[in-house]
Amino acid sequence: DSGVTQTPKHLITATGQRVTLRCSPRSGDLSVYWYQQSLDQGLQFLIQYYNGEERAKGNILERFSAQQFPDLHSELNLSSLELGDSALYFCASSVWDSGSTDTQYFGPGTRLTVL
């Protein structure tokens, strides 16, 4: 158990819908990272927040947005869902802002299925 929690574990929804994935980092961690793992595109970095502020952006679609709240939990919002958005979404946390020296601890992931 990494100490990172993600809810829900599984999510099934229809195309065109909007969902929110939630992540609670390890106690004391200020950074949160979001990743998408799909069969056809592998593991992709989406976005990083540090202490409430966006720090790095990867291949995140405009239909997706994220934020980190004052209590440091983070939410990833996915809207106008398409079949191709079906994937495993990981959240990871680390103590500081440096992805290079900080160990990222991954949560168990949220499995999103879009029908």
Q: Which residues bind another protein (CB under 8 A)?
A: 2, 33, 35, 42-45, 48, 55-58, 88, 90, 92, 97-100, 103-104, 106, 108-109
C-beta of 43: minimal distance to another protein in Å? Answer: 4
Nearer to another protein, 59 or 77 (CB): 59
Query: How far apart are the C-alpha atoms of 105 and 2, rounded to whole Å?
Result: 6
Token pair for 75: 């939410």
Token pair for 37: 């793992």
CB of 94 closer than 8 Å to CB of 105: yes
Query: How far apart are the C-alpha atoms of 1 and 20, rounded to whole Å?
Result: 23
C-beta of 35: minimal distance to another protein in Å? Answer: 8
Nearer to another protein, 20 or 88 (CB): 88
C-beta of 102: minimal distance to another protein in Å? Answer: 10
Other C-beta atoms within 10 Å of 38: how many? 15
Residue with the two structure tokens 């949560």: 107
Nearer to another protein, 57 or 63 (CB): 57
Nearer to another protein, 45 or 79 (CB): 45
